[in-house]
Amino acid sequence: MAHANQVPVEAGAKDFAIADIQAWAISFPVPEHNSVRLGVGRARKRDAVVVKVTTAGGLVGWGESHHGRAHTSIAHLVGHALRPLALGMDATDVHGVWRRIYDAQLAAMGTGAACAMAMSGIDMALWDIRAKAVGWPLYRLLGGASRPLRAYAGGVALGWQEPAALAEEAAAHVRAGYRAVKLRLGDSVERDTARVAAVREALGPGVVILADANTAYTLDDARRMVPVLGELGVGWLEEPFPAHDYRNYELARGYGSLPFAAGENHYTRFEFNRLIDDRAVDVLQPDLSKTGGVSETLRIAAHASAYKLAVHPHTSMTGINMAATLHVLAAIDGDGYFEADVSRGNLFRDELVATPFAIGADGCVRPPEKPGIGVEVDEAFIRDHPAIEGPAYA
Ligand SMILES: [Mg+2]
Domain ranges for the chain, please list them: 13-135, 140-384
> Within a 10 A sphere around the Cβ of 134, how many other Cβ atoms?
11
Amino acid identity of 216? A
> Within a 10 A sphere around the Cβ of 14, how many other Cβ atoms?
12
Ligand 1 centroid from CA 212, angstroms = 5
294, 265, 275, 2: which is closest to 119 by C-alpha?
294
Quote the pTM value.
Answer: 0.94
Ligand 1 centroid from CA 44, angstroms = 18
Ligand 1 centroid from CA 193, angstroms = 18
Ligand 1 centroid from CA 191, angstroms = 19
SS3 state at 45: strand
Ligand 1 centroid from CA 291, angstroms = 14
Ligand 1 centroid from CA 183, angstroms = 10
SS3 state at 390: coil
CA angle 106, 98, 62 (to 5 degrees): 120
CATH class entry, domain 140-384: alpha beta
Rounded CA separation 39/393 (Å): 10
Strand (E) or helix (H) holding 297: helix 293-306
CA angle 269, 272, 275 (to 5 degrees): 160
Compute the radius of gyration of the chain from its Cα atoms: 20
Ligand 1 centroid from CA 155, angstroms = 8
Ligand 1 centroid from CA 248, angstroms = 17
Ligand 1 centroid from CA 204, angstroms = 24
339, 261, 331, 271: which is closest to 111 by C-alpha?
271
Rounded CA separation 285/301 (Å): 10
> Within a 10 A sphere around the Cβ of 12, how many other Cβ atoms?
7
Q: Determine contact, residues 25/382, Cβ cutoff 8 Å.
A: no
Ligand 1 centroid from CA 49, angstroms = 19
Instruction: Provide the residue-wise pLDDT of the chain in tens; the chain has 394 residues.
Output: 444 444 444 444 469 999 999 999 999 999 888 777 777 778 899 999 999 999 999 999 999 999 999 999 999 999 999 999 999 999 999 999 999 999 999 999 987 999 999 999 999 999 999 999 999 999 999 999 999 999 999 987 888 999 999 999 999 999 999 999 999 999 999 999 999 999 999 999 999 999 999 999 999 999 999 999 999 999 999 999 999 999 999 999 999 999 999 999 999 999 999 999 999 999 999 999 999 999 999 999 999 999 999 999 999 899 999 999 999 999 999 999 999 999 999 999 999 999 999 999 999 999 999 999 999 999 999 999 999 999 888 8
Q: Domain 13-135 in CATH: superfamily?
A: Enolase-like, N-terminal domain (3.30.390.10)
Ligand 1 centroid from CA 6, angstroms = 36
